[in-house]
Amino acid sequence: MQAPLAAALATALGRPVARLDPVAGGDLNDAYAATLADGARVFVKTSADRAAAGSFAAEAEGLRWLAEPAALPVPAVLALADPPPAEPAPLADPPPAEPAALAASDPTPRFLALRWIDAGPSTPAGDEALGRGLAALHAAGAPAFGGPADTLRIGPLTLPNAPAPDWASFYATRRLEPLARRAHHRGALPPEAPALLDRLIARLPQLAGPPEPPARVHGDLWSGNVLTDRDGRPWLIDPAAHGGHRELDLAMLRLFGGPSERCFEAYDEVAPLAPGASERVALWQLAPLLLHAVLFGSSWGARATDVLRRYA
């Protein structure tokens, strides 16, 4: 695959590609450090059949949208080759989250080429910059909860993403219900989970805290999607960007071992969270736990059910 990819990349960039070296790129993609003939390096993600068709285009659009406020750096999109799925997504809410349509057997390589970032160690100053930058990013806002597209790709799944009138209804109908149905169908949730979810959703308008306007959120902000460069600056990568609640990104950042507490303190200094935010962290972590239950099975479903019991 490397020769066709190198040729397609060279055509898109208008510069010859001297070599492609494999680098870590996640479960769904192959990733390469492309060294160009002039010595410059480019990060390239590609997938013949594992990532959803259109996922690279959605990532590129998300990166551009997050870059607009200039709150935190994101890698520049240098080239993109990602034809849309054969059938357009429905305009109405789609059915429960299902594996997205994979790319057809088109021999033309699909790829996303991004500016190369030399990674370095995280630092307390970088954690503080991340917190302050997230506060500025969220403050840039979004037109609505959800959008801009009516579906959102996260990993191999598509989720409904059409705008909703308020955060509680968006979180219930566009995240919790579709993910829980899919996880239950897979057998990753215990029998009690659907009833617990119904009770939680009935309480969600009260549990969600004071109303807030839509924030511009990264949408999948676990610690692996924050890249620190050699100067200690944090960069945002691999977004699932949409209009959401600002506490969502912060909760996700805590889920799998994130930055130091200085990040969250710096955020609160710039944009204090509403009362009760600490009690809502696990509530906003419920959607990613259900997503992991869909993808990886019942151990994650058990963790999600513990959260359901807490809030139901």
Residue numbers annotated as active site: 220
DSSP 3-state assignment of 4? helix
Q: Do the Cβ atoms of 35 and 9 come closer than 8 Å?
A: no
At residue 33, what are phi and psi to the nearest 5 degrees?
-95, 110
One-letter amino acid of 11: T
Residue 97 gets the label, from left (phi > 0), alpha (psi -120 to 50) or beta, of: beta
Compute the Cα dihedral for 163, 166, 172, 173 and give only its sign: negative
- Note whether 159 and 268 are within 8 A (CB): no
Q: Is 240 in a helix, a strand, or coil?
A: coil
> Is the torsion defined by CA of 207, 146, 93, 237 positive or negative?
negative
How remote is the C-alpha of 81 from its chain's centroid? 20
Q: Is 218 helix (H, G, I), strand (E, B) or coil?
A: coil
